Structure 1
Amino acid sequence: MRRVPSARDVGRGRSRVHGSYQRNPADVPSAGRSVVLRLRVRRFSCQNAACGRRTCVEQIPGLPRRHGQRTERLRSTLAAVGLALAGRAGARLTGVLGAPVSRSTVLRLVHALPEPEVPAPRVVGVDEYATRKGRHYGTVLVDVETRRPVVLLPDREASSLAAWPAQRPGIEVVCQDRAPFFAEGATAGAPQAVQVADRWHLWHNLSEAAERSVAQHRRCLRSLVPEAPEGEAEPGPEEQLAGSRWPTGHRFADRTRARHAAIHALLEAGHSRRSIQRQLGMTWRTVQRFAGAAEPERLFTGQWQNRTSVLEGHRPGP
């Protein structure tokens, strides 16, 4: 079979110089100023009539690529800026450096970079993600040791999951939730790996088990509540107020006592309630409520009431 000549045949005696033209690729800026190289490159014509490429251009290694407008040094610099700052912020920095480009150009250079070589993970975490919640879900695989995503699968089918670990026999542990299709895919794709539950589902399972256990033994807790003697009378409202559960030092209780004392002191001094409202910066309804209470404990209503827990009788004594 006869080989078809290409641009690599330049300089091998199969082509001749057709002409030349000038290229002006941008280079790395110097002292904040833009640098443009002026290159005179030759164009060759092929003597082989069967060649599909009639002419080819001389390529200079290490400078611009074919049809490129920037040198390799500038491309790598702009790509590094894009990796660090992404589109908008990277475009602003390139203007300061002396090589202004748009944010679309920065992102395009980043997308053109080759995919980094990721070592095969030893411990893989499997979970689902949603591109549209409630409608479309996929599968994400994470390297648990480095805590970095490895691959995104377009669905959460067992067959899709099984195909990925089947090509990587070095997987030793698969960390997953309780989804049955994840277990089937991990078993089919990595039968040598040990399947474990992730940390969140372990705590979730433990909390559910503890809640079920407490609900099943709720009658046992009620049977331990001591019964009051039949002859002992219940304390009256005055005794309940005297034994208030809000001691001195509680900020809400202390504030209520201080306001109550200030309002009643002004009332005893002969001030009207309108005057007390203006002096203390309170509303008329608040002054009325405090003035109508003989003791501050009567104002501890609502959430300040003596609230007891269902486990109050089972707490250890002082």
Structure 2
Amino acid sequence: MLISEMVAILFPHLARVCIDQVFRAGTTVRIRARTGTMEAACPDCGTRSWRRHSHYERRLSDTAAGGQELLIHLRVHRFFCRNTTCARATFAEQIPGLTVRYGRRSVPAARALRAIALALGGRAGARLSLRLATAVSRTTLIRLIRGLPEPPLAAGPRVLGVDDFAYWRGHSYGTILIDISTSTVVDVLPDRTADTLAAWLHAHPGVEIVCRDRASAYAEGAARGAPQAIQVADRWHLWRNLGEAVERTLTRHRHHLPSLVPALSAQPAPAPPAQAPTRPRIPADRNDRIAVRTRERHAVVHALLKQGHGVREITRRLNLGRNTVRRFARAGNPEDLLVHTGTGQRPKALDAYDDYLRKRWAEGCTNADLLCHELRNLGYRGSSTAVRQYVRPWRAGLPPTPASLRPPTVRQATGWFLRNPAHLELGEQHHLDTLIALSPQLAALRVHVREFADMMMNRRGRDLEAWINAVLRDDLPDLRSFVTGVRRDQDAVTAGLTLPYSSGPVEGHVNRTKMLKRQMYGRANPDLLRKRLLLAD
């Protein structure tokens, strides 16, 4: 493969120039190139000219090559404009795909930096560009974002999604508009008022369906700005509103929840108090690792002593401490060393009260503070912490404390009503059946929730009126309040329960907006947030 063909494949933006030299300067790879242009068109009047005025060198920062920063030294020509009526006397040639007027970066490098800036913002983008060997500052990336033109929008999308987001939660809000068909952001409005939305819809005709939540401002704005459009209430918000009504209803009937706790007589009887632990074994009965090692070392030390070796020589041979060897040498019997070695039972002030503590422990008194109070009457002068540590090994034999029997919460009971019956566990289904058997109102509530869920899942919005009338016949004040809200927005609710559209894509972009806000840490103005929302891939 020829060098020119390789360059055309790896660096297609350099295919229109002649490369004279490639060399390294420090950590930068540099390319010297020139143009072979014989004529060029004036950027103002378009007249082509072959009269060269001069030439000069441009330095362009390019995308990294092999992880190394790449700088292009490009020699270009300046031409005279042959049109005498043109205001421009001379002009510099531009290489398509490589240079732009006043550009200090190649077109591919500027495109890559714009993508990094839109994806990561200022500081994070600057850190990534440094890793890509194209170091720029955070302010440069922000300038690149602000310099990008917004996509033109002559008409509104056929299916429009509307939702609000917080610039400053609790104080100022904006509105994000989404094309539901393509799941792309079409515009960002500075507030969430009906007037602003109506004005936008007037300026961008063509909207046929508006997907929204149940906010009255968006309902009013859509009705005024696009009266011919069908408004679709989001099903998730409908289900959430219904769940709030169910929770309020269960709060009214929460006195039934303690009935779900099984009777105490059905619980197993508590275990008798644990007996006091047995006393530690005597040293002669010990056969653990420490006891075996102590007996072996005692035998070796005394054997070396009989051979006439001194303490220092034994210390060197056995690699033991001098005081350790002295202690083994002084002990006539290894059991004397095992009295307090490795047992965790060093002499304590409480040893004198051991019999009393074991007696009280066997009687069921396991409270260390109470035991300490009784010992003080017997002359003990220590702390309750020492008593607690003394009896801690005995607690291993105590039976586990039974879990307290508490009735389910209102939130848990609400989940039983709202979840798919096929996903309920056996115990939850039993609790739900017990509840509806205790209260006719809760039984009616369960029927209405199931019917609404079936209507929503199977897109049977035509049955909404019958469902509303059935609810109004029952004594369920909180569910009636939900129905009152549905009545005020019944056309949009019916469309939401019939058409396949929803505000799901809008909610996804709202979550992305929150991510961008956190990424920019509140230091950027709303115009930068708007650009990143509109121009993101």
- In the alignment, structure 1 residue 261 sits paired with structure 2 residue 366: yes
Q: What percent of counterpart residues are identical?
A: 33
TM-score after normalising by structure 2: 0.39
Query: How far is 1:189 from its partner?
Result: 3.0
Instruction: Give the alignment's Cα RMSD to 1 decimal.
Output: 4.8
**CA distance in structure 2 between the aligned counterparts of 1:169 and 1:66, rounded to whole angstroms:** 38
2:48 paired residue among 1, 6, 10: 10
Tell me which residue corresponds to 1:64: 99
Deviates more, 1:189-198 or 1:70-79: 189-198
8 Å Cα contact 2:159/2:207 also seen in 1: no
Counterpart of 1:188, as a letter, is R
2:113 paired residue among 60, 73, 78: 78
Query: How far is 1:247 from its partner?
Result: 7.5
- In the alignment, structure 1 residue 128 sits paired with structure 2 residue 169: no
Matched ranges for 1:140-219 at <5 A: 140-142=176-178, 150-165=186-201, 167=204, 169-179=206-216, 181-190=217-226, 191-197=228-234, 199-200=236-237, 202-208=239-245, 211=248, 215=252
Matched ranges for 1:297-316 at <5 A: none
**CA distance in structure 2 between the aligned counterparts of 1:94 and 1:54, rounded to whole angstroms:** 39
Tell me which residue corresponds to 2:461: none
Tell me which residue corresponds to 1:20: 55
8 Å Cα contact 1:7/1:57 also seen in 2: no
Question: Please, which runs of 5 or more residues in structure 2 have no aligned partner?
Answer: 1-41, 272-360, 390-403, 411-433, 439-537
- Answer with 1 or 2: which has the greater Rg: 2
Cα deviation 1:137-160 (Å, max 9, x = unaligned): 433334567776543212333232
Query: How far is 1:67 from its partner?
Result: 0.7
2:140 paired residue among 92, 101, 105: 105
8 Å Cα contact 1:27/1:73 also seen in 2: yes
Cα deviation 1:53-91 (Å, max 9, x = unaligned): 122111111211111011112112223333443322322
Tell me which residue corresponds to 1:295: none
Query: How far is 1:187 from its partner?
Result: 1.7
**CA distance in structure 2 between the aligned counterparts of 1:198 and 1:150, rounded to whole angstroms:** 23
Cα deviation 1:166-195 (Å, max 9, x = unaligned): 53535434222242x321211233323133
- 1:106 match: secondary structure: helix
Query: How far is 1:165 from its partner?
Result: 4.1
Counterpart of 2:85, as a letter, is A
Question: Please, which runs of 5 or more residues in structure 1 have no aligned partner?
Answer: 226-241, 250-256, 283-303
Matched ranges for 1:225-244 at <5 A: none
8 Å Cα contact 1:137/1:155 also seen in 2: yes
Cα deviation 1:262-298 (Å, max 9, x = unaligned): 546674898667546032459xxxxxxxxxxxxxxxx
Counterpart of 2:46, as a letter, is R
**CA distance in structure 1 between the aligned counterparts of 2:187 and 2:238, rounded to whole angstroms:** 22
**CA distance in structure 1 between the aligned counterparts of 2:192 and 2:56, rounded to whole angstroms:** 55
Tell me which residue corresponds to 1:42: 77
Query: How far is 1:136 from its partner?
Result: 3.9
Cα deviation 1:204-249 (Å, max 9, x = unaligned): 355247636975x89xx89xx9xxxxxxxxxxxxxxxx99x99859
2:130 paired residue among 91, 95, 110: 95
Higher relative contact order (CA 8 A, sep 6+): 2
Comparing both structures, which one devotes a greater share of its residues to helix?
Answer: 2
8 Å Cα contact 2:213/2:237 also seen in 1: no
Query: How far is 1:122 from its partner?
Result: 5.9
TM-score after normalising by structure 1: 0.60
**CA distance in structure 2 between the aligned counterparts of 1:147 and 1:274, rounded to whole angstroms:** 76
Counterpart of 1:176, as a letter, is D
8 Å Cα contact 1:128/1:137 also seen in 2: yes
How many residue pairs are counted as aligned between the two chains?
257
Counterpart of 2:209, as a letter, is E
Residues 159 and 198 of structure 1: is their aligned pair in 2 closer, same or farther, counting only changes over 3 Å? farther
**CA distance in structure 2 between the aligned counterparts of 1:126 and 1:260, rounded to whole angstroms:** 67
Residues 308 and 53 of structure 1: is their aligned pair in 2 closer, same or farther, counting only changes over 3 Å? closer
Cα deviation 1:77-112 (Å, max 9, x = unaligned): 223333443322322232233221112223333444
8 Å Cα contact 2:47/2:83 also seen in 1: no
**CA distance in structure 2 between the aligned counterparts of 1:54 and 1:161, rounded to whole angstroms:** 49
**CA distance in structure 2 between the aligned counterparts of 1:29 and 1:23, rounded to whole angstroms:** 18
Residues 169 and 44 of structure 1: is their aligned pair in 2 closer, same or farther, counting only changes over 3 Å? same
Counterpart of 1:203, as a letter, is R
- 1:44 match: secondary structure: strand
Counterpart of 2:225, as a letter, is G
**CA distance in structure 1 between the aligned counterparts of 2:407 and 2:190, rounded to whole angstroms:** 53
**CA distance in structure 1 between the aligned counterparts of 2:162 and 2:43, rounded to whole angstroms:** 51
Counterpart of 2:197, as a letter, is L
